Structure 1
Amino acid sequence: MRLAYITAATTAVAALVFLVPLGWGLRSDHREKALSDAALQTATVAGALVAGAGDKGVAAAVEAAGDPVVHTPGLAPSAGGRASAAEIDRAATGAETSTLDVAGGVIRLHPVTANGKSWVIETFVPDAALGENTARDWWLLLGLAVLLVGGSVIVVDRLARGAVDSANNLVEAALAVGDGDLGVRIHPSGPRELAEVGYAFNRMADRLVTSRTDERELVADLSHRLRTPLTALRLDAEALDPDDTQIIDLTAEEVDRRRGIRRIRQAIASLDDEVNQLINTTRQAVAAQVAAASEEGLCDASEVVRERMTFWSALADDQNRQHRVLGAQMRIPVPVARAELAAALDAVLGNVFRYTPQGTAFEVALSRRDGWVALRVDDAGQGIPDPEKALRRGQSQQGSTGLGLDIARRMTQSSGGSVSLDRAAMGGASVVMLIADAEATPKTPSRFGLVGRGPRGRRGQRGS
């Protein structure tokens, strides 16, 4: 009996060692998920404000995002908000999002500046959302602890050695998870109760990995959302006067102004590098899940194209770019994650807006044949002088990081496809992303690369 008590006490301590850190970890995950959802709502409204949407467009974005509140600094707080005027003004002068505790939850104040105007977007996160499922998790962990201790007491005389070994394995695995190694899994053994705890531990560890993966995908998606306003900002900066200060007869005021223009361009370039780094880091963390192309990874390519073109068309209209979308009316399922396909299309379209003059037309087309889906982006710009070099990671002839086409290439390769460059019938570059068709068996893809461009592309192709 003494051995039973000792074993029970040991098992209880082991349970506390890994269940308490796991419980706090799950609680933190719930809170971070709630704040991440609020950040996504804020990004939707911020995108509309930066894109220059009118009052109706901003109102539609607010409604779609779950009714966050948009404040104008210097004026009275908007109806429905919980922040005071002083807090709004203080948030508007800051460069980062601030989080404040209020009655019933917290609020996120996100400053937005575009076209010489400033706004502060307030998103309220109630306490119920911050602590959602926390009590259930604690009860689950408590139940597992009771089961572990009770089982060890009942069968200790027969399975003492097995129970001790199993408890030691659980302790080691729990400590490894507490140190950040979420890849640790155990082989359930020993008494039935401890084996069940082992299975439960593995499920919880899988759940933590899934939660981390979802957070990284959200970060990557938000990063890609930054590409569009960043492209617009870059185009506006390039339209400013030259920043050369080496001319002798410049006045002091003119030198200061040109230095300010230079700092703006340098800041935009640094921000662009940070966004690229953030995208690469988060995409590498979830590359294995995307490459699996499971049923959960399927998405409708037509729906993604329509959604992203709705977003890009606003900027195209501002720059007087003629554009059209072909073949995106019918459902076309492809075995890639929705976020990955959207990121690849955003990267290619971002290159069109960045490296072709304002007013340059472009076209986005979808087609499917022989088990392949071709997503083609053509423009009427100057083309790509060295397509082979442009497809290599980190290579660019435009002074950028060269990661745009690499994002598209990795997305297509996850389904066995590829990316090809050619001269478009419109006169500029033609980028074709070849993706496996989820509803047909792919045939040899080399012929479909030409089909994706169409007859005009074949007649007009030359070295690009």
Structure 2
Amino acid sequence: MTAQGVPLRRRVLVVIVSVTALAVALFLVPLAVAVSLLFHDQTVAALQRDAAWVAAAVPDEPRTPLRLPTGLPGDLAIGGYDVAGARLFGDGPAHSRLAVSSTDGRVHDAVEGGFLAVSAPVPSDEGTAMVIRVATPNSQVEERVHEAWLLLGGLALTVIALAAGAAVRQSARLAAPLERLTTAAQALGGGDFSVRASPSGLRETDQAGQALESTARRLGAVLSRERAFSADVSHQLRTGLTGLLLGLESALSRPGADLAQAVRAALSRGERLQEVIDDLVRLSRDSRVPTEHLDVSALMEEVRQEWHGPLAEHGRRLTITVEPELPPVTAQPAAVRQILRVLIDNAVRHGRGEVAVTVSDVGPGLAIEVGDHGTGVAEGVDPFVRSSGDSHGIGLALARSLAEAEGGRLVLSRAGPPLFSLLLPGHDT
């Protein structure tokens, strides 16, 4: 047996033909034996009838020549024997053991000298006077049996041939859908997530095809999200690294620049970039449903410490408002932290005036809103659409994908002045 195993078509064909052949054999062997016994018994019954007819017509002291009844078959060998088995007249062997056995007054049959013979006693007042022996060639009986066997054998071959034809058709019907599933699975393994399995009419096979299609769609969606996530993460990291490098280059190019301050600023940006990397790596590895309770107060304090200084350098304020008694929310803090970084960074780069972060109760969940006093988003422009020439959309696309991964939504509540809302579903405690 090879590692590939036996093909299904061959397996089904062999099983069906084998079972059919076994059933035919179990049926035909007893039938063939019964046919042989039937022909033998029919011939013996006919010979017994003829022997009784002849015995009734023979006188106790037969005359020569003996006048036999008319109407007897021409191929019969008819002879008369004494009680010792010696032939008195007619055809047959000179001595017959079968004739001796009929001295008991009963009819007997046996194959004797290549003939199927029957002996019938001729009764008299003193007992059995003689025995009449009637025989026919046994080859004729065997020939009839063989003809019947050939007919049964032809019937058996016909049945097996029909079963083989049905097996070929059924095996093709069973194997073809599986072969198509194999081809689809190979295409899926090669990266084709558009595979579709055509219906076969077999419930189990169709269920497997539907499962394969569903898996292909999920894998395609996951791969698309992973690719988009990787591209967005790469943009976020490049943006932070570019800012760090530009700060150092500016300090080096300015005469009399405070290099110590530049190094401290670079270290601060490096630490922030390290936090971004840690958060993104953690999010990329953790695909489970989040179970951690989101500490909104602690998260807002992190936002205050991280963004108060950069906004103050540009003469802008950061105000954070948290409503009391917020509903409990389950989300990964790293994901929410990255979403807020994108929104606030977007407000710092593209907005003006005060940046306001508001956390409010919205029924079953909560909303975290980030707004500023900039001109906002132009009419007809989707800020979440990625564009190679617009870093604004790339960062927001990452934030939206992180929000959706947490079961929430990130929407543009107001185009101008811009107001972005992160909606997170509540969690019953």
TM-score by length of 1: 0.34
* TM-score, normalised relative to structure 2: 0.37
